[in-house]
């Protein structure tokens, strides 16, 4: 049976997940500054020249960046681009925000703002979005302004309404992860995959509102990931399945670096598979924290690295605020023969109240000293 688990896990390790698209940026010409003036004066049309001057004066573009932008847009008068700028300003966008938007989507300067841009603002406003919400959304992803209202925005809202129930919740999700709108068809298809595999509406709602990037994969890749997680024994109806999906949305490179890190600790593929299926959160912990907790656990606490695979939840604890202060208290108790050094995870898993009661307050004579030590170590982290 493990061979089938291993096969599924290896696929998860090798699959390339594209979780977001990078906004199309103007291509910066790597031209020699000394020859730019000559190129600019001899190889551009009048409309290109006007466009370059406009972009430099209005937005502070460098000459190279402005000339590069003319590969995507050019105009011979300022009427239309001025109307675009005016519309943005009338809706509260700052000069810096407008400049950022135009750098990423220069084509907007030749659009009809009342037909291309304004309807998107009005759509979000009709859904209860505030002015600041609208500014945040379109500054984060200006490419949305070039998308169809009927073909993208409206179907997106309708498909999410079943799960997120209110316009306010949908707007919150969009603010958190704007790419979900541009990938609305993909999101819809992937949500259907989850439904077909028995994931309840409530779980899907949580995924969309808290971790929307987890469903931002190519649908064929998403289907394969879902199938392989199920082959590892994970059930789509369980919350742990959501965590595993989120872990896979972090991307192939991040995933592979962590696998290599675990192997350097001496973990076999079997151990890595077992740890992931038991605690997929481990693939969401930063490499820096993984290394720091491992080093402290092995060098200071005397744990074997394999013990970390047995108790992977320790990686969810703060090293400075929890692990070090609690270990310091335990060291004193062990040195005085008050408890055994059983290398248990229990002291680190306990709530703050439970830890103080079990390892500080219950030792009447040592309690003041232990509490002082504990608080000092916690305060150091701040």
Instruction: Report the C-alpha gap between 371 and 274 in whole angstroms.
Output: 37
Extract the tokens encoding 121: 């603002």
Is residue 154 domain-resident? Answer: no
Cα 314 to Cα 275, 306, 347: the distances in Å are: 12, 13, 10
Helices (H), 127-183: 131-140, 154-164, 167-176, 179-182
Is residue 302 domain-resident? Answer: yes
| Predicted local confidence at residue 33, as pLDDT | 37
Residue by residue, DSSP assigns 170-236 as HHHHHHH-THHHHTHHHHHHHHHHHHHTT--HHHHHHHHHH-GGGG-S-HHHHHHHHHHHHHTT--T
Long-range contacts of 62-67 (CB under 8 A, 24+ apart): 63/36, 64/28, 64/29, 64/30, 64/31, 64/33, 64/36, 65/26, 65/28, 65/29, 65/103, 67/29, 67/36, 67/39, 67/40
Number of folded domains that form the chain: 1
| Predicted local confidence at residue 379, as pLDDT | 86
Length of the chain: 382
Instruction: Report the C-alpha gap between 62 and 30 in whole angstroms.
Output: 12
Region of 241 on the Ramachandran plot (φ > 0 left; ψ -120 to 50 alpha; else beta): alpha
The helix-helix angle for 201-210 and 167-176 (nearest 10°) equals 50
Residue-range definition of the domain harbouring residue 301: 285-380
Q: Is 120 exposed, middle or buried (0-12, 13-18, 19+ CB in 10 A)?
A: buried
Query: Which residue's structure tokens are 């740890």?
Result: 275
Is residue 300 domain-resident? Answer: yes
Is residue 376 domain-resident? Answer: yes
Is residue 321 domain-resident? Answer: yes
Is residue 252 domain-resident? Answer: no
| Predicted local confidence at residue 23, as pLDDT | 38
Q: Is the separation of the CB atoms in 295 and 305 below 8 Å?
A: no
Please give the chain's pLDDT, 382 residues, in tens: 555 555 555 545 554 344 433 333 333 323 333 334 434 444 456 778 999 999 999 999 999 999 999 999 989 999 999 999 999 999 999 999 999 999 999 999 999 999 999 999 999 999 999 999 999 999 999 999 999 999 889 988 988 998 998 999 999 999 989 988 888 889 999 999 999 999 999 999 999 999 999 998 999 999 999 999 999 999 999 999 999 999 988 878 889 999 999 999 999 999 999 999 999 999 999 999 999 999 999 999 999 999 999 999 999 999 999 999 999 999 999 999 999 988 889 999 999 999 999 999 999 999 999 999 999 998 876 6
**DSSP letter assigned to residue 25:** P
Is residue 350 domain-resident? Answer: yes
| Predicted local confidence at residue 375, as pLDDT | 93
Is residue 199 domain-resident? Answer: no
Instruction: Report the C-alpha gap between 248 and 214 in whole angstroms.
Output: 8
Q: b/e per residue, 289-303, with b = 16+ CB within 10 A?
A: ebeebbebbeeebeb
Instruction: Report the C-alpha gap between 353 and 373 in whole angstroms.
Output: 16
């Amino acid at each position: 049976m493990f061979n089938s688990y291993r096969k599924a896990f290896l696929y998860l390790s090798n699959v390339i997940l594209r979780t977001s698209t990078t906004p199309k940026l103007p291509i910066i010409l790597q031209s020699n500054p000394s020859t730019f003036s000559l190129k600019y004066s001899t190889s551009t049309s009048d409309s290109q020249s006007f466009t370059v001057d406009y972009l430099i004066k209005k937005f502070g573009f460098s000459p190279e960046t402005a000339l590069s932008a003319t590969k995507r847009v050019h105009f011979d008068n300022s009427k239309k681009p001025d109307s675009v700028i005016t519309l943005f300003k009338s809706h509260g966008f700052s000069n810096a925000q407008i400049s950022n938007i135009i750098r990423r989507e220069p084509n907007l300067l030749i659009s009809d703002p009342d037909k291309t841009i304004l309807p998107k603002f009005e759509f979000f406003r009709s859904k209860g979005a505030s002015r600041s919400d609208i500014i945040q959304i379109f500054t984060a992803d200006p490419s949305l302004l070039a998308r169809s209202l009927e073909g993208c925005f409206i179907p997106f809202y309708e498909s999410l309404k079943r799960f997120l129930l209110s316009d306010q919740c949908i707007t919150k999700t969009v603010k958190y992860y704007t790419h979900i709108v541009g990938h609305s068809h993909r999101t819809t298809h992937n949500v259907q995959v989850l439904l077909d595999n028995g994931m309840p509406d409530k779980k899907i709602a949580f995924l969309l509102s808290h971790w929307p990037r987890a469903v931002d994969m190519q649908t064929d890749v998403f289907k394969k990931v879902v199938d392989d997680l199920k082959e590892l024994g994970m059930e789509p109806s369980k919350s742990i399945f959501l965590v595993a999906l989120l872990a896979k949305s972090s991307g192939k490179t991040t995933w592979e670096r962590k696998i290599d890190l675990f192997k350097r600790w001496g973990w076999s593929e079997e151990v890595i598979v077992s740890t992931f299926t038991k605690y997929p959160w481990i693939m969401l912990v930063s490499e820096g924290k993984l290394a720091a907790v491992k080093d402290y656990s092995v060098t200071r606490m005397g744990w074997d690295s394999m013990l970390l695979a047995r108790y992977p939840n320790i990686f969810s604890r703060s090293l400075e605020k929890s692990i070090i202060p609690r270990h310091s208290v335990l060291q004193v108790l062990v040195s005085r023969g008050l408890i055994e050094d059983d290398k248990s995870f229990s002291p680190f898993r306990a709530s703050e109240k439970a830890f103080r009661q079990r390892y500080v307050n219950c030792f009447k004579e040592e309690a003041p000293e232990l509490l002082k030590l504990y608080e000092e170590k916690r305060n150091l982290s701040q």
